[in-house]
Chain A
């Protein structure tokens, strides 16, 4: 217990600092904070739902979500930048739809892209492996099976590269 205390304390300190910054930002730019808080709700939900350590899904959803929110942040900053302007944005369904749909788009990317990327990486490695095997087969065809070292670990490879 005594070992975990400093970590817990450090976390608490970090959260206190986040709260201080949030309070300061709220005081300085309340409409912006309000827009971000409302617009980034999907990201907050994703953060709570994703229990993995790395939370890769949060990066994707947050990325998409922020793109959607950023459009209206610019609109807010370009208008009066007050609570009323923020309320105007919230009062319409389309901005909310854009913000949340962009978060959904991030989620879709997170669901679709990883298997594709994984397959591509494997295909590249397999292609290199095949090339090496072709080289080995040609060497064995030219110089005979005595090239194959008498190592049990290479037995499978030897069978694969044995010329017909």
Chain B
């Protein structure tokens, strides 16, 4: 939905209004009014670029989709590198993009002057003859895959519309971009190995070099033949066909190719990982030497089909895929005796049937618990039917190393990642890892990441939860806080300047640190900020604001010595509860009077030190206690006087008479003495 709206914004603003060119790193002018549709990637639109230092240089820029995590690590590795068979990545960075009015990730590439190897308009592939294939097509692309592999990278975006001629003479073939979205996100089921194709696009993970070689095989086939028999099919049909017939048979079908090409297609599109050609075998083929022929092994098929959702399945893996797509119907089929009978007698998988029977028994004993849930039972059944497939739970599916991007895509596009969160909380990944064949290496780091994510999810505190997982598992994902979503903040160093930039146009009553920003800082700020997060999460408003301020001040101290006037003003306006936490009105007034002076300095550490001065707080507390004692003393005395006054009111007359009597007696004595003295003197 968000993507659609953004896309429509882009398209509606194209051509209709003149936009200022965007300037990347003070060097590359990206012209928002000059789109290059033929170089568009499914997740990134292409625009013309002018290099200010080299006007004659032919470049183009890909504008990334804001809600997709780009492959920053790959960008860093490929920037400035000249790898044979790979479109040179010149520069990348964030830039203010006028059509959207926000900062956005941009990747600048060299312009492929020869255009796409398969022109989508004319389907002109006649520029390549079959004898050119090994040297002109396969060799450069295989070299690129090998070079990337040597750097620990997979391309995972190899498809016919992403292969270009770099030169006008159409001699240099290169693979296009592979960084604007999650790995494999834009791949169709046609170019993905059957297992990866069953994963959600966001959860395919970086994959392996074998996956790149598979995609290369499909790409070469389409480049050579102009099309595939599956090209017009839906992704679901393609996946079913691959499971039923095998990749080679379903993609190449009955199309005739040169025998040497048949050999490479069989090798690259082999579904058996042990038999599939690797780079070494491909190199041998390029050099014209013979390879041992690949046995044409058809996928194991059941004697009788199993009807599910109107489709006759003859392969348990295809059925697993179908089950995972429809949990409600799947649970009925799983609980049906016919299903186990089919597995035992038609497929011949007795162990599989026993395992599923066991799962059903466990579920019936544990009704009302997780193990008795339908979606859990479907998850376990799917894993039994196809252990090498992705982890599939409800509508969520991914390979474990694509879990982060899958969560990001779900969260940013659907608005929630409930199924992904459940995968972690229910520890479903441990079942997936246990189910893998022993030959399949599972990185111990992966288990650590999952356990760490589980700990994050268990905590509801600010800086934890799904947001923390999101940034931990997606190092290239910009901060998704609504406060700074327009600033495309990827690096922690850019966070405070971004908050400073938006401070002028934001509701100043909002707290500058929300859940996303807290999680972003906790993930990318390489300092211990636990005390700040604990204070920030406090239910007491003043403690929370002190926590927020101390964290921002600490970050400015560590990262940005320069003044942040806007942010200081924003934070200064939120200090009311902190000032009110002082008991003395005089101190409060002094703070209120002096805060604007510090705000004008733009120094958060100074502001924090001033507002939360330990000595001042201690003095305030001591004086407060002293005042409390004085009040109590005054109160006690006042009560006594009041009581006495009440008594006096009741005995006023008597008291007056008593005093009068005393005065009279004394007066008499004085007068008598005076008379006596007066009489005798």
- Binary contact readout A109-123 vs B (1 if CB under 8 angstroms, 0 otherwise): 110011111100110
Question: Smallest CB–CB gap between A92 and chain B, Å?
Answer: 18
B671 CB contacts on chain A under 8 angstroms: 67
Contact in complex: A113, B653 (CB < 8 Å): no
B649 CB contacts on chain A under 8 angstroms: 122
Central interface residue in A60, A66, A78, by most chain B CB within 10 Å: A60
**Complex Cα spacing A60 to B639, Å:** 35
Question: Smallest CB–CB gap between B675 and chain A, Å?
Answer: 6
Question: Smallest CB–CB gap between A46 and chain B, Å?
Answer: 12
**Complex Cα spacing A65 to B637, Å:** 43
Question: Smallest CB–CB gap between A56 and chain B, Å?
Answer: 4
> Quick one: closest B residue to A74, CB to CB?
B679
Contact in complex: A63, B665 (CB < 8 Å): yes
B660 CB contact (under 8 Å) in A56, A122, A136: A56
Known contacts A54-B658, A67-B672, A114-B659: A143-B583 contact under CB 8 Å = yes
Which chain B residues (496-555) contact chain A, with CB distance < 8 Å? none
Contact in complex: B668, A144 (CB < 8 Å): no
> Quick one: closest A residue to B672, CB to CB?
A70
B681 CB contacts on chain A under 8 angstroms: none
Stretch at the interface among A6-14, A16-24, A146-154: A146-154
A122 CB contacts on chain B under 8 angstroms: 645, 648-649, 652
Contact in complex: A114, B627 (CB < 8 Å): no
B435 at interface by CB-CB < 8 Å = no
> Quick one: closest A residue to B645, CB to CB?
A125
Known contacts A116-B656, A117-B659, A129-B645: A106-B664 contact under CB 8 Å = yes
Contact in complex: A143, B627 (CB < 8 Å): yes
A136 CB contacts on chain B under 8 angstroms: 631, 634-635, 638
B36 at interface by CB-CB < 8 Å = no
Contact in complex: B648, A143 (CB < 8 Å): no
B151 at interface by CB-CB < 8 Å = no
A64 CB contacts on chain B under 8 angstroms: 664, 668
B656 CB contacts on chain A under 8 angstroms: 113-118
B362 at interface by CB-CB < 8 Å = no
Contact in complex: A132, B655 (CB < 8 Å): no
Contact in complex: B627, A139 (CB < 8 Å): yes
B448 CB contacts on chain A under 8 angstroms: none
Central interface residue in B623, B648, B658, B668, by most chain A CB within 10 Å: B668
B676 at interface by CB-CB < 8 Å = yes
Which chain B residues (615-645) contact chain A, with CB distance < 8 Å? 623-624, 627-628, 630-632, 634-635, 637-639, 641-642, 644-645
Contact in complex: B658, A56 (CB < 8 Å): yes
B25 at interface by CB-CB < 8 Å = no
**Complex Cα spacing A56 to B651, Å:** 14
A132 CB contacts on chain B under 8 angstroms: 634-635, 637-638, 641
> Quick one: closest A residue to B587, CB to CB?
A142
Known contacts A70-B675, A136-B631, A148-B631: A117-B586 contact under CB 8 Å = no
B100 at interface by CB-CB < 8 Å = no
Contact in complex: A56, B661 (CB < 8 Å): yes
A26 at interface by CB-CB < 8 Å = no
A80 at interface by CB-CB < 8 Å = no
Contact in complex: A126, B645 (CB < 8 Å): yes
B585 at interface by CB-CB < 8 Å = yes
**Complex Cα spacing A144 to B343, Å:** 79
**Complex Cα spacing A62 to B668, Å:** 9
Question: Smallest CB–CB gap between B635 and chain A, Å?
Answer: 6
**Complex Cα spacing A154 to B636, Å:** 9
Question: Smallest CB–CB gap between A79 and chain B, Å?
Answer: 12
Q: How many A-B residue pairs have CB under 8 A?
A: 134
Contact in complex: A121, B655 (CB < 8 Å): yes
Contact in complex: B668, A67 (CB < 8 Å): yes
Question: Smallest CB–CB gap between B587 and chain A, Å?
Answer: 10
**Complex Cα spacing A117 to B676, Å:** 30
B665 CB contact (under 8 Å) in A59, A115, A116, A118: A59
Question: Smallest CB–CB gap between A51 and chain B, Å?
Answer: 14
B663 CB contacts on chain A under 8 angstroms: 109, 113
- Binary contact readout A47-61 vs B (1 if CB under 8 angstroms, 0 otherwise): 000000010110110
Contact in complex: A157, B635 (CB < 8 Å): yes
Contact in complex: B675, A74 (CB < 8 Å): yes
B152 at interface by CB-CB < 8 Å = no
- Binary contact readout A23-39 vs B (1 if CB under 8 angstroms, 0 otherwise): 00000000000000000
Question: Smallest CB–CB gap between B585 and chain A, Å?
Answer: 5
B667 at interface by CB-CB < 8 Å = yes
**Complex Cα spacing A61 to B616, Å:** 69
B657 at interface by CB-CB < 8 Å = yes
Known contacts A122-B648, A143-B627: A71-B675 contact under CB 8 Å = yes
Contact in complex: A59, B679 (CB < 8 Å): no
B584 at interface by CB-CB < 8 Å = yes
Known contacts A64-B668, A70-B675, A78-B679: A139-B655 contact under CB 8 Å = no
**Complex Cα spacing A102 to B667, Å:** 12
Contact in complex: B668, A143 (CB < 8 Å): no
Question: Smallest CB–CB gap between A47 and chain B, Å?
Answer: 14
B644 CB contacts on chain A under 8 angstroms: 125
A135 at interface by CB-CB < 8 Å = yes
> Quick one: closest A residue to B676, CB to CB?
A74
Contact in complex: B664, A149 (CB < 8 Å): no
> Quick one: closest A residue to B620, CB to CB?
A143
Known contacts A122-B652, A132-B634: A63-B668 contact under CB 8 Å = yes
**Complex Cα spacing A141 to B584, Å:** 9
Contact in complex: B648, A125 (CB < 8 Å): yes
Contact in complex: B664, A59 (CB < 8 Å): yes
B641 CB contact (under 8 Å) in A56, A67, A125, A140: A125
Which chain B residues (170-199) contact chain A, with CB distance < 8 Å? none
Contact in complex: B668, A118 (CB < 8 Å): no
Question: Smallest CB–CB gap between B460 and chain A, Å?
Answer: 32
Contact in complex: A115, B652 (CB < 8 Å): yes
B653 CB contacts on chain A under 8 angstroms: 114-115, 118
B584 CB contacts on chain A under 8 angstroms: 142-143
**Complex Cα spacing A153 to B632, Å:** 13
Contact in complex: A139, B585 (CB < 8 Å): no
Contact in complex: A60, B652 (CB < 8 Å): no
A146 CB contacts on chain B under 8 angstroms: 583
B655 CB contacts on chain A under 8 angstroms: 114, 117-118, 121
Contact in complex: A143, B632 (CB < 8 Å): no
**Complex Cα spacing A62 to B679, Å:** 21
A133 at interface by CB-CB < 8 Å = yes
Contact in complex: A109, B664 (CB < 8 Å): yes
Which A residues contact B (CB, under 8 angstroms)?
54, 56-57, 59-60, 62-64, 66-67, 70-71, 74, 78, 106, 109-110, 113-118, 121-122, 125-126, 128-129, 132-133, 135-136, 139-144, 146-149, 153-154, 157
- A62-B668, A115-B656, A143-B624 given; name 14 further pairs at CB < 8 Å: A54-B658, A57-B657, A57-B661, A63-B664, A66-B672, A109-B660, A110-B657, A117-B655, A125-B641, A139-B627, A141-B585, A143-B623, A154-B635, A157-B635
Q: List 21 A-B contacts (CB under 8 A).
A: A54-B657, A54-B658, A56-B660, A62-B668, A66-B668, A70-B675, A71-B675, A78-B679, A110-B660, A113-B656, A113-B660, A114-B652, A125-B648, A132-B641, A133-B638, A136-B635, A141-B585, A143-B583, A143-B627, A143-B631, A147-B624
For the complex of A and B, the 5 pairs showing the least CB-CB separation, nearest first, are A114-B656, A63-B668, A118-B652, A59-B661, A56-B661
